[in-house]
Structure 1
């Protein structure tokens, strides 16, 4: 892997090197061991060799050497399933024996795609991703440039830790916090090490632990004054009703696109979609607990890229095909939407698509066509996004105060669409409740009725309450419901639970 020194102006770190999160926010008693290899023997079959590299276990270390002129970066992984829905910690202790090129801890590996925590012999680190699905020449995504750190000891072993807590990664070197980034779903279930040409490295151990109890991440500022990053729960985020019903034929794709500034250069955090991650995460809990949808049949993607959104839609449509007309499909999206200025066609915007490249997003008409390609009992779409060029905070593009009324799409099949706003309206955020307005009242209705909600009453409830609450703030937002002609006579009797 070549070293990329390009600076992607990523505001997600805002150079959080100015602050320090405590490694001991999670004590040992709050961790459950899931995987541990101290490299005392080769029971996990790490050892390997060729004319280009050798991997052997000696003196309690895994020794990984790639020869000069070997020609390629070498990756060695083992398969171990990490439940990414849980909070977890991945850790190793590594030493660069030769001083030519970096070494990497990699995770979420599959088919040559992976995430990596990179240590360089010059005392710098980088967080990166290699995505084989991207076009050739554009497969490396450097979430940071190489950043110098006084925490790195070039002569000895360095403990490097990747900690996932809720929707964030926290990265540590020798128990010192260096930065945090939004969590992204894995490519696969392998983890291990990456070593480049003309490098010899030693790894003392590799372990994975689950973090059992939620704890507040403490942040220390430069004056060593502790500041707690705490957040009060919304009333719909707690006391979520549970059902005994098992909806075996229901499948749900949930996407929460909040953080756009991390994935695109030159954007500030104000263009992000406040609480979209919370919208998606809590809606998933209601799908599992209140609507009785098995967890494996609910796919949650936080900060979805174009590839991830397309993969998720394909996953959902394939399951509809398998069910042969018996499936009940739910698609939920919270994030940016934008119109194409000339055609006025509406698009969902993945986090890696800019406001000037709207056509590279997910066209709504194509989404609806895909969701109804195969017969289903019902297809329900929830869109907490606006498509006029407005936004919860700030639009991805400057519209010079002009909003575009998006084109109405022709829909077919058993399709019902609940959209958070109408025409050229913006979709706002209910800050007190930490959700988009439509999502909050959707969750509230499910909570109040234990999921037993008819679509007709849901429509009336959403329109009245969203209009009232936004009207109190002086900017009325009106949800709309779009129904395909085939079900105009009976859609109101459809039920979220049935």
Structure 2
């Protein structure tokens, strides 16, 4: 029980906070074919017939901003998530987007001149190709995102905005490299001096700072710079300067989220507080690895160098000393003591005991989980050093965007599902792993009708249900019915929650063979026969239907059926006869299938079919029966891919959700006819028309009957 509980905990921690993915920005996925790359969408459909080069330098998929670099005949362009080419393949360098204030911009060069310009996400020229070089401020303050460093043909630098307007004159020798300011300041060099500009292009810090010294460094509230006479100053974003009482030193280290400096000189470090303008600690051999105003300090002893934790005044947190200290994420440190490695936090509390032999044996996974290695294999332990994942893999990491655990064995890649089992077969490269992760997430993401399912306290004990969801078929040339299992599972959930039908009153069968279909019909027949009153019956089917080409009679296709042998199917005539003979108050048959010989995608069901859809013959219901079918005649029952359901089933569930199950069959039929017809044309460009077929005994009153 303890192991089960721990696995539940890791599942919750890793997967409960996964980001909601905008599937409109996912894909296309590059697949190697015909000696090149063909792009497919998340549904496995080909985006276009264009064959791109497969020897691309990097086929990493940029998903966030709907821009994907591609290469054709040795030249680069870009496509969007639909595979549409938005920038022609006519550039001799890879096109990597940059993001400025949430908008996508793409630096490009003119092939004749070699000069740089900027295109937008639609391939329109925003800045002409007239610059020798263009750089984006990689970590800039939000207000600075509109600035780009540019170099003109004379080798001089300045800054422009995305409209191409000059914000900082293009007259300087060099822009500051490294991390720009969180204060909205950027620096340029003129000769041997630095000067600083604000986000409006105003020169707020004059060119008086020593270029030969360290580049400008930034604390939470100041930029730290040195003048030509080696005097240090702290300057705010308005250009106000404060002289710092710092001795001459070899180097300063700053922390952007704080106002503390580490002043280093001749193997001797001390903490200096900018606000109080004074040293606040003794000197140590080295001070590093700051976290929330705590540091790791090193001192030299007779037994070699020792490390310990100090606060922002240089005071030791505890008496513990360590032989080695290595930075880990989330405020943890990997430390070595007595030739063994463990994990502590910055309060010097032991998190993972000292029982690991190598420095590489421990790494952080999440704030509450660590990857550790024993006997050469990686597993996961929690903050109490309890094992939550067995030591089975060469390497374990977490994809911080998808929150999926990635694992490696023998140079092959995989990831774990929400129960910490291998989700797929092992793949040989990280690109295929990336594709498989998104296919997996797409397959398990719930539709809006699968969440917030209404609950009915009233128990509907007099209704019995058979649900058959046939998605997979034994015969290799029969295509699967996309989302059929989703259809069946969700309808089952609505039966139990919204319609109030007890679980024991429902027979749910996935990928039903012919014998299992017979079993389901016999089960409900026997149940009805022993009832003292007339119960209600619901029969739901999602899967393939097939026609008899000669008689045009319709059949349900079992998972072990043969598409070209209608006798291997279950006749609708027989189904209606068996259900019609039952003494029921009402029998409702719901069929998310078509009987024209086509798939949900509108293609022929088998590769060797004639390619002509057949208009099946309607079957007259018997007894007290109402049949709602997904389509009519030779139409196709389409999937609603965005919603992970058959089109018919999605709107069936949507109406049950909206009405909390309190809907008449007449209202339901009108709603389905309107919504399915409209949406099938919007999504696919073809009409799907649900039909209703009623037994003679209910001709006058079926519309007023409730679904339960």
Structure-1-length-normalised TM-score: 0.55
Q: CA deviation at 1:395?
A: 3.6
Q: Describe the shift of the 1:286–1:216 C-alpha distance in structure 2 as closer, same or farther (beyond 3 A).
A: farther
> Is the CA contact 2:579–2:622 (under 8 Å) kept in the aligned structure 1?
no
Flag structure 2 segments of 5+ consecutive residues without an equivalent: 10-390, 394-416
Q: Describe the shift of the 1:298–1:247 C-alpha distance in structure 2 as closer, same or farther (beyond 3 A).
A: same
Q: CA deviation at 1:28?
A: 6.2
1:95-494 superposed matches below 5 A? 218-219=423-424, 220-223=426-429, 225=433, 227-228=436-437, 229-231=440-442, 232-260=445-473, 263-264=474-475, 266-267=476-477, 271-393=479-601, 394-397=603-606, 398-472=608-682, 473-494=684-705
Q: Describe the shift of the 1:236–1:216 C-alpha distance in structure 2 as closer, same or farther (beyond 3 A).
A: farther
Structure-2-length-normalised TM-score: 0.39
Partner of 2:152: none
- Alpha-carbon separation, structure 2, partners of 1:216 and 1:470: 37
Q: CA deviation at 1:377?
A: 0.3
Q: Describe the shift of the 1:364–1:218 C-alpha distance in structure 2 as closer, same or farther (beyond 3 A).
A: closer
Q: Describe the shift of the 1:493–1:216 C-alpha distance in structure 2 as closer, same or farther (beyond 3 A).
A: farther
Partner of 1:30: 7
Q: CA deviation at 1:287?
A: 0.3
Q: Describe the shift of the 1:309–1:241 C-alpha distance in structure 2 as closer, same or farther (beyond 3 A).
A: same
Q: Describe the shift of the 1:247–1:214 C-alpha distance in structure 2 as closer, same or farther (beyond 3 A).
A: farther
- Alpha-carbon separation, structure 1, partners of 2:537 and 2:419: 32
**Deviations 1:445-492, CA, capped at 9 Å, x for gaps:** 000000101000000000000000012231000000001110111111
Work out which of the two has the higher radius of gyration on C-alpha atoms and give 1 or 2.
2
CA RMSD of aligned residues (A): 2.3
**Deviations 1:212-236, CA, capped at 9 Å, x for gaps:** 9756854452236575321321100
**Deviations 1:296-317, CA, capped at 9 Å, x for gaps:** 1111111111111110111011
**Deviations 1:269-298, CA, capped at 9 Å, x for gaps:** xx1100000000000000000000000111
> Is the CA contact 1:30–1:213 (under 8 Å) kept in the aligned structure 2?
no
**Deviations 1:48-74, CA, capped at 9 Å, x for gaps:** xxxxxxxxxxxxxxxxxxxxxxxxxxx
> Is the CA contact 1:324–1:376 (under 8 Å) kept in the aligned structure 2?
no
Higher alpha-carbon deviation: 352-361 or 443-452: 352-361
Higher alpha-carbon deviation: 319-328 or 394-403: 394-403
SS of equivalent residue, structure 2 residue 494: helix
SS of equivalent residue, structure 2 residue 667: helix
> Is the CA contact 1:257–1:304 (under 8 Å) kept in the aligned structure 2?
yes
- Alpha-carbon separation, structure 1, partners of 2:658 and 2:568: 39
SS of equivalent residue, structure 2 residue 576: helix
Partner of 1:166: none
Q: CA deviation at 1:267?
A: 2.5
Partner of 1:82: none
Q: Describe the shift of the 1:402–1:325 C-alpha distance in structure 2 as closer, same or farther (beyond 3 A).
A: farther
| Higher RCO (CA-CA < 8 Å; seq separation 6+) | 1
Q: CA deviation at 1:31?
A: 6.4
SS of equivalent residue, structure 2 residue 448: coil
Flag structure 1 segments of 5+ consecutive residues without an equivalent: 1-25, 33-173, 177-211
- Off by >6 Å, runs of 4+ in structure 1: none
> Is the CA contact 1:324–1:375 (under 8 Å) kept in the aligned structure 2?
no
Count residues in correspondence: 291
> Is the CA contact 1:380–1:417 (under 8 Å) kept in the aligned structure 2?
yes
